[in-house]
Amino acid sequence: MRILVIGNGAREHALAYSLSQDPSVEEVHVSPGNAGMAAIATLHPAGDAVELASEVQADLVVIGPEIPLVAGVADELRAAGFAVFGPSKQAAQIEGSKAFAKDVMARAGVATAQAQSVPVGATDSDIDAALNNFGPMYVVKDDGLAGGKGVVVTADRAAALAHIKAVHEGGNPVLLETFLDGPEVSLFCLVDGETVVPLLPAQDHKRVGENDEGPNTGGMGAYTPLPWLPEDGVQRIVDEVCRPVAKQMVADGVPFNGLLYAGLAWGKNGPSVVEFNCRFGDPETQAVLELLETPLGGVLNAVARGELKSLPELEWKDGYALTVVLAAEGYPESPKTGEVITGADAGSESKGIRAAGVAEEDGKLVSAGGRVINVIGSGATLEEARDNAYRVMDSVNLPGGHFRRDIALPAVEGRISI
């Protein structure tokens, strides 16, 4: 197969690398990709996806980020006759509109936080009245795409109000939600209509600072599987959340085909949905794919062609995997770019390196975004996976760069429980 991957981050690097290791895959193309992927894929400038898929004669197109999915790029490619891994524009609204997702969950009987929409143009008294319905912990969400950074969770009413105003100024409505307590779980599911196949559960670390302090980011690290999750945890999420939503979307005439990401909080009554995404999550993908034994190309192709039901059971490596994100100075508010990176050259995939915000200048990799490099470690235990990841991370240098040293540490120390 010749496969075209759309996107340019560490998630797409992880996808492209896994695809390049699949014996059934002859060529991997990425658009636009980044300079750190150059050793394992042919890179193409950003452009019209249909034209590029035709140019490379793609047998399969894998769309990584949410923005092209919500914009309907999958529909355009399918209309041109290409097999696509990624949902339609309508189905991608499960991530593109939190109000859409809440409506689907309500009709599917899926547990989630209570919510209230605060539209653009709401008066100060309307906003004040809405805030009175929530708290003492306020959850304020941008009801649109925000790259994982559109949520503020705070006990400070003034901070909640400020985020509402900021989101409204950006032209989006706001969703206020009740706070869901309990540890968070990310579960990716391959979905083809009503057929749902889970991948390994993971946990993301969203806050920029250790001990979960500071603002939300796109993700500073993740690990998989979750030693604290009940033995039937994944099956419960599939049965209580993902399969009901998939069935409801089929009933609504908006079937989902691709990767459905359920972000959940596991409280005293079990899993409740925090959010859905319509694509592989970043950085969880980097860790999850590290443990996938089944060749990825055949898996994604089966979903794209509506043949997931006939796919053999997925096989996984034993042990654990963990990814740590190296971020640029000033991230997430104002990341500094143009700094030379050492210890993470193109072709370093076997060391666990996956590149994100990088570019090439004078033959060297330089920072070109907020999250710059991912390092993946694996091991028989979660502690061993941590040690392996941080040993490599300590050999990578980015002036002013920063990363969290506590990824998965609460799980290793037994501080997470259901």
Q: Where are the domains of the chain?
A: 2-88, 114-178, 184-413
- pLDDT higher than threshold 70 for residue 149: no
Q: Which residue, chain included where needed, has tokens 């980015």?
A: 398
- The model's pLDDT over 347-373, given as tens digits with 9 standing for 90+, comes to 999 999 999 999 999 999 999 999 999
pLDDT recorded at residue 181: 87
Class in CATH terms, 2-88: alpha beta
Task: Give me the mean pLDDT over the 240-247 stretch.
Answer: 98
- pLDDT higher than threshold 70 for residue 302: yes
Backbone φ and ψ for 2, nearest 5 degrees, come out as -105, 120
Contact 66, 143 (CB under 8 A): no
Of residues 99 and 189, more confidently modeled: 189
pTM: 0.91
Class in CATH terms, 114-178: alpha beta
- The model's pLDDT over 372-412, given as tens digits with 9 standing for 90+, comes to 999 999 999 999 999 999 999 999 999 999 999 999 999 99
Task: Give me the mean pLDDT over the 87-93 stretch.
Answer: 98
The answer to which of 39-48, 134-143, 163-172, 262-271 has the lowest mean pLDDT is 134-143
The answer to which of 52-61, 116-125, 316-325 has the lowest mean pLDDT is 116-125
Contact 44, 19 (CB under 8 A): no
Which amino acid is residue 238, in one-letter code?
V
- pLDDT higher than threshold 80 for residue 10: yes
pLDDT recorded at residue 145: 72
- pLDDT higher than threshold 90 for residue 37: yes
Contact 100, 41 (CB under 8 A): no
Helices (H), 220-351: 233-237, 243-251, 284-290, 296-304
pLDDT recorded at residue 147: 62
- pLDDT higher than threshold 90 for residue 152: no
- The model's pLDDT over 159-203, given as tens digits with 9 standing for 90+, comes to 999 999 999 998 999 989 888 889 999 999 999 999 999 999 999
pLDDT recorded at residue 348: 97
pLDDT recorded at residue 277: 97
Pairing of strands 60-63, 138-142: unpaired
CATH 3.30.470.20 fits 184-413, yes or no: yes
Per-residue DSSP letter, 211: G
pLDDT recorded at residue 179: 86
DSSP class per residue in 392-416: HHTT-B-TT-B--S-TTHHHHTT--
Of the candidates 262, 266, 235, 270, the residue with the CA atom closest to the CA atom of residue 104: 262
- The model's pLDDT over 273-291, given as tens digits with 9 standing for 90+, comes to 999 999 999 999 999 999 9
- pLDDT higher than threshold 80 for residue 296: yes
Backbone φ and ψ for 80, nearest 5 degrees, come out as -90, 0
Helices (H), 316-381: none
Rg of the chain, C-alpha, whole Å = 20
